[in-house]
Amino acid sequence: MIGSRDPGKIRDGVVLGLCSVILAAGSRFELEDDRLKVGEAAMPSVCWARGVFDDGCPGCGLTRSVVAFCGFRLSESIDLHSAGFLVGTVVLVQCVYRLVCVLWKRGGGVGVWVSGASRYVMLAVLIVSLARGLGRIHN
C-alpha cells in the first residue's frame, strides 16, 4: 500500500525520488565546450585535480557522460567516459525497480539481484575509471 509507514517503502520512495531527479535534471543540461549548461548559466568545474594540476583525474567526464546518458545521447555518453553509461544504467534500473517496490509488494529475489548487480556495476565503474587514469599516466 502506498500510504503505509513501512520503512522499506519509505526508503524505496526516497531512492525513487532521487533517481527521478537525477534523470530529469540530467536531461535538462546541455554540454558545451567541456562545460555543463542550463540555459545561459554554466556550472563550474567540480574536478579538484583539473583545478590544481590543470589536468583531469580518472573520473573526469563522468558527470558529463551521465548527463549525456540522461539526454539519450548514448554514443556521446560513452565517448565522454566509458563508465558513464554504466552509472546511467544503474540509475535507470534503480528508478524502475523502486517504482515497482513502491507500487507493489517488495519481491525478495528481484531485490537481491538488483542490489547485487548495482554493487558489481559500481565496482566496474571504479575499475574502468582507474584503468582510464592509468592510461593517461602511461601516455
Residues of the domain holding 120: 7-138
For the cut 80, the answer to whether the pLDDT of residue 96 exceeds it is yes
pLDDT for the residue 111: 58
Inside any domain, residue 25? yes
For residues 36 and 42, the answer to whether their CB atoms sit within 8 Å is yes
Residue 16 backbone dihedrals phi, psi, to 5 degrees: -60, -45
Which one has a higher pLDDT value, 138 or 37?
37
State mean pLDDT over 116-136.
Answer: 71
Q: Identify the burial level of 45 via C-beta atoms within 10 angstroms of its C-beta, where 0-12 means exposed, 13-18 middle and 19 or more buried.
A: middle
Inside any domain, residue 2? no
Inside any domain, residue 102? yes
For the cut 80, the answer to whether the pLDDT of residue 58 exceeds it is no
Inside any domain, residue 125? yes
Residue 55 backbone dihedrals phi, psi, to 5 degrees: -145, 150
Inside any domain, residue 90? yes
State mean pLDDT over 24-53.
Answer: 77
Inside any domain, residue 1? no
Band of pLDDT at residue 139, cut at 50, 70 and 90: very low
Average pLDDT, the chain: 76
State mean pLDDT over 15-22.
Answer: 88
For residues 56 and 47, the answer to whether their CB atoms sit within 8 Å is yes
Inside any domain, residue 47? yes
Inside any domain, residue 17? yes
pLDDT for the residue 137: 52
pTM of the model as a whole: 0.67
